[in-house]
Amino acid sequence: METWEFGRTVRRWRERVAPEDAGVPVGPRRRAPGLRREELAALAGVSADYLTRLEQGRATAPSAQVVEALARALRLSAPERDLLYRLAGHTVPGPEVVPSRLAPSVRRLLDRLAHTPVVVYDASWNLVLANGPYEALMGTTSHWRGLERNAVWRTLAGPPGRVVHTAREQAEHEARLVADLRLTVLRYPADRALRRLAAALAEATPRFGELWDADVPPPLPGPSRRKIVEHPGAGRMTLDCDTLLDALDDTRITVYTAEPGTEDAARLAVALGAAALVE
C-alpha cells in the first residue's frame, strides 16, 4: 500500500466535507473549511492519534472496517469508496461480505431526521452511525472501539445502557439478537470477519455461547415498539422505537420518537435540548 497516498487522499477528502453536512456543530471560531481530524475520528470511531498517523503515512494497513468507517464519515461516492479500499490494499467488498455502507439516498433520509434520535447497525450488529440526538438520548458512542461497537456484545457483556428492561425482556432481547446474528452468518458464509466476530463474542461472554449453541428456540415475540429510557437529566420516558430495514444494504435503522404533546415528548425535548446547550 502507498501509505502516503492513502493518507493524503483522506486528508483531501476530509477538508472538503462541510461540518454541518456531517452533523458537526459549527462554532464561531472555526477558520479552516472541512472537518477537523478530531471530528472525522469521532465520526469514524477511531482515535484522533491513529487518524493523524494514517494521514501522515506513519500507520500502515488500516483494516477494512476502518476504511469503511472513513468512507461513511467522509460521505464518499461509490467510486471514491472503492478507490479508498484499493489505496489501503484491500479488495473492494463484494456481495458475500456483510455491507456496512449507507447509500446516498439513505444518507439524505437520515439528514432529514437531524433532530430525531437515529442509530444504524449493519447485519452483524456493528454500529454504523449514531446521530447527535441519539447520543444525547442514549449516551456518546464516539469512544467505542472494537467489540464495544457491537450491539450483541453490549447487550450481553457491556455496561448497562439507558434502556430499562425487565428480566424477561432482557433475556428475550439477548436471544433475539443472537438468533439474528446466526441468520446473518448463514446469509454470508464466506465472510471471515463475521465468523471472527462470532468467535470473539463467544470468548467474551459465556451467555453468547449458550444462546449460539442452543437448539432452535420457539418463535420469540417481536421486539417491542416502545422502549423505556432512563435519562440522567430528563428522567424516565417511554418512547416509540421503530426499526426500519434497508433490504439492499442489509442495515437496521432505529428511530426513537414520542407522541407530540405528551409528558414523554417533553422529557425527550429536555434530553435533546440539554445536549444542545452543552455543545
Tens of pLDDT, residues 28-82: 676 677 899 998 998 888 889 999 999 998 887 898 889 988 998 898 888 898 9
Averaged confidence pLDDT in the chain: 88
Decide if 54 contacts 1 (C-beta within 8 A).
no
Amino acid (one-letter) located at 242: D
Amino acid (one-letter) located at 66: V
Which cell numbers in the block locate residue 223?
421486539
Domain 3-87 part of CATH 1.10.260.40:
yes
pLDDT tops 80 at residue 217: no
CA distance 94 to 196: 18
State the span(s) of the chain assigned CATH 1.10.260.40. Answer: 3-87
pLDDT tops 50 at residue 90: yes
Task: Give tens-digit pLDDT for 115-128.
Answer: 999 999 999 999 99
Report the pLDDT averaged over residues 234-252: 93
Report the pLDDT averaged over residues 218-226: 65
State the span(s) of the chain assigned CATH 3.30.450.180. Answer: 104-278
CA distance 29 to 172: 49
Report the pLDDT averaged over residues 100-129: 91
| Model pLDDT, residue 1 | 46
Q: pLDDT higher for 81 or 164?
A: 164
CA distance 255 to 202: 29
pLDDT tops 50 at residue 8: yes
Report the pLDDT averaged over residues 159-166: 95
| Model pLDDT, residue 28 | 65
Domain 104-278, CATH among 3.30.70.100, 3.40.718.10, 3.30.450.180, 3.40.50.2000: 3.30.450.180
Q: How far is CA 30 from the centre of its chain?
A: 27
